[in-house]
Chain A
């Protein structure tokens, strides 16, 4: 069922990704093939602990994949969006856009 069929767009928002940092993580990973933990932390302006918490939620939901490795003997954590993660992100952005459009049409 879609917003067009009368259901309010807020009902389509996904509780797992509907949060600024988690949505930001998926936004970056849907644009890039992969990103490091450090890049995400700096781009989203969050602390290590805060980012770890959100990444764990997304990983548990199967929306991101975490790969740990070494570059020049230094540990590095890479994150990738799964296919489901990309689809969920697109659906969330679509729902948010519908919501904004609905508010605007109601205001107009």
Chain B
């Protein structure tokens, strides 16, 4: 089987380009990033100006609805685009985040664990999502949240919920918008 150097290189290059294009389609995540980021941003004034209970209620009811909306969005995309990834690891991670956040929020009883714990779980979950998507930006956001959770646990700054959740929300929305711009550019 005769194969020239240039032919082999061209074939590898062509295959890699095809893989990159498919990876870009599969790692499109602007919808959940913007949705959960917005939820986080909205929860800040609720916690600051209303009550801790209202903020918890927002997450307890809002997070499962957001997960459901995300699942429907991915299902719609699968039908529209015609390519999909294995959803199981994403679903397991999403459920683990909700269960972990709820458990730590309740177990913390308003103490440092009740705010740093969920933030740590969300950050760790984002790291898992970033690993699945091979996303550096997602990994940086996840690592930043884990670090923020540890710092918040240790020093307990004033307005700790706003100080940790606002950067997460804004970061998530910005990453989502960046992803949306990339999608519009590719299509």
The residues of A with any CB-CB pair to B shorter than 8 Å are 10-11, 13, 15, 18, 20, 23-24, 27-28, 30-36, 38-39, 43-44, 71-72, 93, 96-97, 99-100, 103-104, 107
- Shortest CB distance A16–B (Å): 12
> Which residues of the other chain, B, contact A71 by a CB distance below 8 angstroms?
79
> Which residues of the other chain, A, contact B154 by a CB distance below 8 angstroms?
none
Q: How many A-B contacts if CB must be within 8 Å?
A: 73
The residues of B with any CB-CB pair to A shorter than 8 Å are 1-3, 5, 8-9, 11-12, 14-16, 18-19, 21-23, 26, 79, 81-87
Q: A20-B14, A28-B19 are in contact. Are A13 and B83 (CB under 8 A)?
A: no
CB distance B83 to A39 under 8 Å? yes
> Which residues of the other chain, B, contact A103 by a CB distance below 8 angstroms?
5, 8
- Shortest CB distance A91–B (Å): 13
Chain B binding surface SS class? helix
CB distance B1 to A15 under 8 Å? yes
CB distance B82 to A39 under 8 Å? yes
Considering the chains assembled together, what is the distance between the CA atoms of A100 and B115 in angstroms? 54
Query: In the complex, which residue of chain A has the Cβ closest to the Cβ of B15?
Result: A27
> A36 contacts which of B14, B15, B26, B82 (Cβ < 8 Å)?
B82
